[in-house]
A and B are shown apart, each in its own frame.
Chain A
Amino acid sequence: MILNVAKQSLLHRKVSVLLTFLALLVSVSLLVSIEHIRKEAKNSFYRTVSGVDLIVGARTGQINLLLSSVFRVGANANSVSWQSYQRIISNPQVDWAIPLSLGDSHKGFAVIGTTNDYFEHYRYGDKRKLSFQAGGRFTNSDVNEHKQVTSMNNHFDVVLGADAAKQLNYQVGEQIIISHGVGKVSFSHHAEHPFTVVGILEFTGTPVDQGVHVGLNAIESIHAQPKKSLSSNNRSQTSLRTSKQAEDHNHDEHDEHDEHDEHDEYELAQPTQVSAFMLGLKSRIAVLQVQRQVNQDKLEPLSAIIPGVALGELWRLVGAVENVLRIISAAVLIASLLGLSTMLLASLRERKAEISVLRIMGAKPSFVFWLLQLEALSIALGACVLAVVLVTGTIFLSNDWLLAEYGLSLSVNILSIHTLLVIGAVLLATFVIALIPSVGAYRNARTLA
């Protein structure tokens, strides 16, 4: 009965109810979508790398190293020498290693020099392995077989991330030119080194999608090449230091190993350095021990970070923004709930007669109280339900666009426990704020006739 009365009462004041409802709908939608995006962003953030025990780079802060090695944001000016790399991965605790050589770009996409171990051992999400939507791994760039010259026609292999392939519109078998430096516009093109696309990775929702993966030695070859045709002042400033180091290391290596036999223009250089490398250990228990060993390395200043720990720290930085968003949406919600409360309070004056009719019929004051609460709560609940539908629809319709434009993949299913908690909180807030008019009505009902 009280439900019917509340329903008729709301229908009776259609316009003000509708306006209040819309205000609430907007704010609840805002709150629900912010919470959903926040959750999804956090998820995909933590999904970027998994199954990697340690990331090692030249001495730097852990966030720096994480950003440059996993997110390809910024560059670590220093590198790890090939000797140190070899020394660390020879540790009996080390199961596998993925070397990463960073700092180059191709049309705005980061170029990652690595080995086939990348496709073998890199994990994202719930320890998911990278898989190929077309083609396959490098055919000729395994560091350990660097003596094998590139393919017959002097091509290097390249494996593209899903987004990179889609946006650059490259197919397997296509030849591309890799430019130098990380900027989108690059002034020195390594025109001498055409690359052939051999594989395209499946979409992962991680920075891997934006990667252009080439063999480690391919990068080395590019950078070793100036000996012949380019002088070092032709290079972009950012990589100046690195390339100098590279030359130094080249000399060392050449002295040590005496591998000057091939002076072909497209010789495959021996890697002299890596920007960073990821380690998988035989046992997780050894993580802290190996980390300490790397950090205390006497021969070269190195940093080893635990990805999970570094991700957590980075998220805390990002999380501040997230909290600001939350506070804003909560403030918007409270504003519209106050609007709801004002609407009910304003209607009380005209409902005085109605309340006394209800009382004379034998309604308890609590009936009047719950009548107003029910009206407020049903507006709020209606707004919540429609907000969920609206946000789901919006995500469903804009998913492709978000993915193409921002590489953002949002789950359409927003009805998580978390969303339900948000809705619960909205209803609770409605109840509390609607206490203002409903207690007023209750008092009226008790004294007025």
Chain B
Amino acid sequence: MSNLPNEVGADGSTQPSKKPMKNTFNEQSPAVLVESVMFSYVSGKPIIDIKKWRLNKSEQVFLYGPSGCGKSTLLNLLSGILDPQQGSVSILNTDITALKPSKRDRFRAQHIGVVFQQFNLVPYLSVLDNIRLAMHFANDGDDKQSTDKRSTDKQSTDKKSTDKKSTSKQERIISMLHALQLPTDCIQQKASELSVGQQQRVAIARALINKPDVLIVDEPTSSLDASAKDAFMKVLIETATNSNAALIFVSHDQSLARHFKRIEALTDINESAALGPELDNKV
């Protein structure tokens, strides 16, 4: 634990340091490690109490969670939106609970992709802008650092390189959308104009565009019909596998479990899940 802050600095600030970590691929080094995490909205009534839970790199897990078992709270803890009162959540050996809030926000942008049940996109932005925005948050700090170092006479050449960058970015976005079987012309459409199924696929694109190490997906199919559900699951598993991201898939729909090798019940992991549904309403 003591060497973690150094890890954070290397991990949180620059993109290249991410690559070597991926290359030193190792089944034993976990993508997610949750240790003795306690969280409660009301003190004395913990809604999450997890002793230990780990997920290896590129591993895909189906977490079965009926409503009221602290499912959304757990996902918010994993993505660093919520801070546990006790314990640590480590993503790629980085204890995100020890990060400063602003660093945690960037770490989330770079390393964690999240897809919610619904409302995954900024409704008034185009598909392209939604994905670009996600890229922007991941690269935010890098841009700032590099512009600080830049001298004025270099700026014209830099502009050219950023132009190149943006075209390659766009290519990346288009190929990503293609992989998700979305039509290319939807790129300029507003997110709110797409069908729910399309929105959820764009959400995956948005979540995966920064090549995250962990992809957290929360009931993404609940508003889809059966055929769309299957198509969505197929595309999701495929793209997640291709991008080497560890996948945490949470759902109360056990029929989806057949897409996964590792299947766990959230009630088994979370020892305070017996608290009842009324607390989950808060989430």
Q: Hey, which bits of chain A sit against chain B, CB under 8 A?
A: 1, 4-5, 8-9, 11-12, 353-354, 356-367, 446, 449
Contact = CB atoms under 8 A, between A and B. Distances in A.
Interface string B107-150: 11110001010011111111001001110111000000000000
Given A356-B119, A364-B105, A449 B82 contact: yes
A353 B119 contact: yes
Contact of B122 (A358, A366, A446): A358
Contact of A361 (B82, B107, B119, B206): B206
Nearest to B109: A362
Contacts of A364: 101-102, 105
Contacts of B81: 359-360, 449
Contacts of B125: 5, 8
Nearest to B216: A360
A5 B133 contact: yes
A363 B137 contact: yes
Q: Which of B101, B107, B126, B133 has the most CB of A within 10 A?
A: B133
B134 A362 contact: yes
B122 A5 contact: yes
Contacts of B116: 356-357, 360
Nearest to B121: A357
B122 A360 contact: no
B93 to A, nearest CB: 19
Interface in B252-273: none
A1 B162 CA distance: 14
A354 B122 CA distance: 5
B105 A363 contact: yes
B102 to A, nearest CB: 5
Nearest to A366: B102
Contacts of A363: 105, 109, 137
A-side interface mostly: helix
Given A353-B119, A361-B137, A362-B134, 6 more contacts: A12-B123, A357-B116, A357-B119, A358-B122, A361-B133, A363-B137
B79 interface: yes
Q: Which of A9, A357, A364 has the most CB of B within 10 A?
A: A357
20 contacts: A1-B133, A5-B122, A5-B133, A353-B119, A354-B119, A354-B122, A356-B119, A357-B122, A358-B122, A359-B81, A360-B81, A360-B108, A361-B134, A362-B106, A362-B107, A362-B108, A362-B134, A362-B138, A364-B101, A365-B101
A8 B123 CA distance: 10
B-side interface mostly: helix
B174 to A, nearest CB: 19
B76 interface: yes
A84 B72 CA distance: 99
Contacts of A5: 122, 125, 129, 133
Nearest to B123: A354
Contact of A360 (B79, B102, B129, B138): B79
B206 to A, nearest CB: 7
B190 to A, nearest CB: 8
A434 B108 CA distance: 29
A4 B136 CA distance: 12
Contact of A8 (B76, B82, B129, B136): B129
A357 B125 CA distance: 12
Contacts of B129: 4-5, 8
Interface in B229-264: none
Given A4-B129, A8-B129, A449-B79, A362 B122 contact: no
Contacts of B107: 362
A49 B134 CA distance: 67
Q: Which of B121, B123, B132, B206 has the most CB of A within 10 A?
A: B123
Given A4-B129, A5-B133, A449-B76, A361 B123 contact: no
Contacts of B126: 8
Given A5-B125, A354-B123, A356-B119, A362 B132 contact: no
Contacts of A1: 132-133, 136
A146 B72 CA distance: 105
A357 B105 CA distance: 13
A364 B133 CA distance: 13
A10 to B, nearest CB: 9
Contacts of A367: 137
Nearest to B126: A8
A153 B122 CA distance: 91
